[in-house]
């Protein structure tokens, strides 16, 4: 807990007053041992000092707040920690296993408060409720996470005698391959008819792969004749 600079200043002024006046008063009375100094401090010096500097309050009302219910838990060290998937909590290299009776809270992944009292007592608290736990002798071993089986490399197509082919899947594939092939042939035939070129003896339309090249050569030759003329 940090105090305000003003409060620190009052404390330091008080300490300076004691170190100055108390040392001189002990010397004047010839006190040089610890027991004699403590006796004089309690019975004479503090009474005279308080009587000299005490100021009556402006109001007799007491504005002090009552102390919390349990000072043992307030005056303690505490820190928030996240519960692991195996219901363990780690703090200062110590592992705590939360009891199964708290399964209804679904604490995995949530934050709990680890508290250590002045007498060494330890507590695990979640939203004001104290948890049951036990301390583990060592770090728990993590269970391996199962991994998915690797994909089969190579051609996944079943063999010719595979039972899958009798279920209609392969037949459907072949059917749609034939339909797509017929569509390609029909489109190529229409392009050949539109171009005015007769089909080949095989029934396939003439290839148009060289058409752009020939048309380009014709344009170049026509362009050259026009320039010469």
State the pLDDT at residue 77.
94
Residues near 8 by beta carbon (within 8 Å), at least 6 away in sequence: none
Q: For residue 81, give Cα distances in angstroms to 47, 85, 149, 186.
A: 50, 13, 35, 72
- Residue 105: both structure tokens together: 């809270």
> Looking at the predicted structure, is the pLDDT value of residue 128 above 60?
yes
Which pLDDT tens digit goes with each residue over 193-224?
Answer: 777 665 555 555 555 444 555 555 666 665 55
Report d(CA 30, CA 11) in Å as an integer: 28
> Looking at the predicted structure, is the pLDDT value of residue 79 above 60?
yes
Mean pLDDT of 8-23: 82
Mean pLDDT of 20-25: 89
Q: For residue 55, give Cα distances in angstroms to 18, 51, 52, 60.
A: 19, 9, 9, 12
Q: What are the structural domain ranges in the chain?
A: 5-50, 73-136, 169-228
State the pLDDT at residue 126.
96
CA atoms within 13 A on the CB side of 38: 3
Report d(CA 24, CA 22) in Å as an integer: 5
Averaged pLDDT of the chain:
80
Report d(CA 118, CA 134) in Å as an integer: 20
Contact 108, 82 (CB under 8 A): no
% of the chain exceeding 90 in pLDDT = 34
Contact 50, 87 (CB under 8 A): no
State the pLDDT at residue 108.
93
Long-range CB contacts (within 8 A, 24+) of 103-107: 107/83
State the pLDDT at residue 56.
87
pLDDT-derived band at 178, boundaries 50, 70, 90: confident
Which pLDDT tens digit goes with each residue over 136-172?
Answer: 998 888 777 677 777 666 666 666 766 666 666 556 6
Report d(CA 188, CA 208) in Å as an integer: 9
DSSP letters along 37-94, please?
HHHHIIIIIHHHHHHHH----S-----PPPPPS-HHHHSEEEEEEE--TTSEEEETTE
Report d(CA 148, CA 50) in Å as an integer: 79
Q: For residue 95, give Cα distances in angstroms to 79, 84, 217.
A: 14, 11, 84
> Looking at the predicted structure, is the pLDDT value of residue 17 above 90?
no
Mean pLDDT of 43-49: 89
Of 3-7, 29-33, 45-49, 72-76, the least confident: 3-7
Which pLDDT tens digit goes with each residue over 92-121?
Answer: 999 999 999 999 999 999 999 999 999 999
């Amino acid at each position: 807990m940090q105090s305000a600079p003003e409060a620190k200043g009052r404390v330091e002024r008080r300490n300076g007053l004691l170190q100055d006046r108390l040392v001189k008063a002990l010397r004047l009375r010839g006190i040089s041992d610890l027991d004699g100094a403590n006796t004089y401090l309690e019975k004479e010096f503090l009474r005279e000092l308080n009587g000299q500097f005490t100021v009556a309050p402006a109001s007799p009302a007491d504005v002090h707040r009552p102390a919390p219910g349990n000072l043992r838990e307030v005056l303690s060290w505490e820190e928030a920690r996240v519960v692991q998937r195996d219901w363990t909590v780690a703090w200062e290299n110590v592992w705590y296993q939360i009891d199964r009776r708290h399964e209804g809270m679904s604490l995995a992944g949530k934050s709990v408060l680890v508290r250590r009292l002045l007498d060494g007592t330890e507590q695990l608290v979640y939203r004001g409720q104290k948890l049951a736990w036990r301390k583990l002798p060592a770090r728990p071993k993590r269970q391996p996470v199962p991994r998915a089986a690797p994909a089969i490399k190579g051609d996944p197509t079943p063999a010719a005698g595979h039972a899958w082919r009798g279920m209609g899947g392969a037949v459907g594939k072949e059917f749609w391959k034939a339909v797509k092939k017929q569509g390609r042939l029909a489109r190529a035939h229409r392009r050949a008819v539109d171009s005015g070129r007769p089909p080949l003896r095989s029934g396939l339309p003439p290839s148009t792969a060289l058409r752009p090249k020939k048309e380009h050569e014709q344009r170049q030759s026509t362009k050259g004749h026009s320039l010469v003329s």
